[in-house]
Amino acid sequence: MHIAGYRINVDALLARLIYPWRYRALAALFGLLLLSGLGSGLIPPFWQGRTELTITAIPGASVLVDGRTWPRPIYAGAHQILATLPDGRRSWADVALHASEALTLTLPAGLPTPRERPIPPAAPGMHVEQVWWADGAWRVRSVQDLPAAPPDSHRASAEPTPLPQSGQTIAISAHNVERLATLDAYGGLADQVHVGSQLYEALYHPNTQSGYGDQSVGAISVRGWASTPSTFPISMPLALVRFAPDGASLLWAETIANEGEQIYLAQQGAERMPVVAVPGHITRLSWRPDSSAVVLHSIAGNRLTLTLVRLEPSIIAAVIADLPATHYAGALVPLTWDEAGLLWVAPDTAGVSSLWNAPLTSLIPERQQPIDARALTRLSNGTLRVLQIQGDSVVIGRYQGALFIGETVVPNVPAAPDLAGIWQENDVLLQAGNQAWLLDMDAEE
């Protein structure tokens, strides 16, 4: 190359420039290749030590570990495992393995995406206050929205806070939606349940007498137990009336002077029996399916108390949990029943979300293991299936020991801090704030 009369040898110039740096250039190139190999997984982290990983999946599923096909050598560290079936169902797990550790992982088939049904309020201008399972259907109680409070500068200090109007209750079953006019006509101080073709009803009748010294405030009449209604007097203002699932027992709550409620039990052919006094106001009852036990959810201030009551073979009650009420929408605490007793999820003394159980033989709560769950159920094979929040997603999966295995994602339910739910066979009820959803799950196991 000639420039301004000078001849420049480009090859010689490049050689003089590159020659002193060839070792550095080769070292840099080697380092880039090494980092690229480590980042892509082509070079395994052999210095961390080998582990033994055995994966069992449904026939026909393709298994990937850290995005690469399985099987292959696995070393210690964090790994992502994914099994996918041809129909799109998948299951996954995040595992942290240590050197010389052996892990056998069984991945289920996964679940189809559940169908979500938002539960609407009974009428415009209302919101869902509570949803519970009774008489083979989901009962939804809606109450009137409170009117917006005017600014303090435009409101007299003595003006009372507006109170919500009486609510409306509907029953949502698989094939029908029905207005429960009887419950609403009695202001919620009534209940009804069908057992076969037999209808049991409990109705509150206020006392119309005002004679001097009369301490009675009314009575509860029960229809269906005998040819004539059974009547049980009450001595304090009535707060709640609920039948057991089999209709053979009736519980009700009477307000007592020290800001609590006294629970009474009535059964056919027997007098009413006091069971237990609970703090605050009872907002929910969770019955065992065979009617042999019930959990009372009561709120006093900002505390939610769970009281477990066993009705058979003898009546005994005990407080099993004291929780922050603001963490549970609709006083819904993730719980389920098993053969031994009650399982629920709540923080331990260190604030770690944990699984607890209370056997019906002793009613003494015992901590089992740390888990995170907003709803849970026990499958027929003994596996614990849960709904939990992972980041911004609501996920359904199961536990294998202490390891969570994801099975499906719920796409349209927000991961609200107070999201909580209950499982009823193939339905999952979820509630957050004043919103509620039903998830339809395919039958499995």
Nearest to 385 by CA among 406, 367, 360: 406
Residue recorded with tokens 């190999």: 37
For 186-238, the pLDDT digits (tens) are: 988 999 999 999 999 999 998 766 554 444 589 999 999 998 999 999 989 99
Q: How far is CA 287 from the centre of its chain?
A: 16
**Distance of alpha carbon 52 from alpha carbon 97, whole angstroms:** 9
Give Cβ neighbours of residue 270 (< 8 Å, ≥ 6 apart). none
Element (H, E) at 354: strand 353-359
**Distance of alpha carbon 367 from alpha carbon 353, whole angstroms:** 10
Phi-psi region of 269 (alpha: psi -120 to 50; beta: other; left: phi over 0): left
**Distance of alpha carbon 61 from alpha carbon 64, whole angstroms:** 10
Q: Other CB atoms closer than 10 Å to residue 281's CB: what's the count?
A: 17
For 98-128, the pLDDT digits (tens) are: 887 888 999 999 999 999 999 988 888 888 9
Q: What is the pLDDT along the chain (445 residues), one digit of tens a residue?
A: 666 666 777 677 666 655 555 566 666 666 676 666 556 555 555 555 677 889 999 999 999 998 889 988 888 888 999 999 999 999 999 998 888 788 899 999 999 999 999 998 888 888 898 899 999 999 999 988 876 655 554 544 444 434 444 689 999 987 889 999 999 999 889 999 999 999 999 999 987 665 544 445 899 999 999 989 999 999 899 999 999 999 999 999 999 977 899 999 999 888 899 999 999 999 999 999 999 999 999 999 999 999 999 998 999 999 999 999 888 888 899 999 999 999 999 999 899 999 999 999 999 999 999 999 999 999 988 899 999 999 999 999 999 989 999 999 999 999 999 999 999 988 999 999 889 999 998 755 5
**Distance of alpha carbon 270 from alpha carbon 302, whole angstroms:** 37
For residues 135 and 244, is the Cβ–Cβ distance under 8 A?
no
- 398 class by beta-carbon count within 10 Å (0-12 exposed, 13-18 middle, 19+ buried): buried
- What is the DSSP pairing of strand 52-56 with strand 102-106? parallel
Q: pTM for this structure?
A: 0.82
**Distance of alpha carbon 443 from alpha carbon 427, whole angstroms:** 10
For residues 48 and 75, is the Cβ–Cβ distance under 8 A?
yes
**Distance of alpha carbon 168 from alpha carbon 427, whole angstroms:** 23
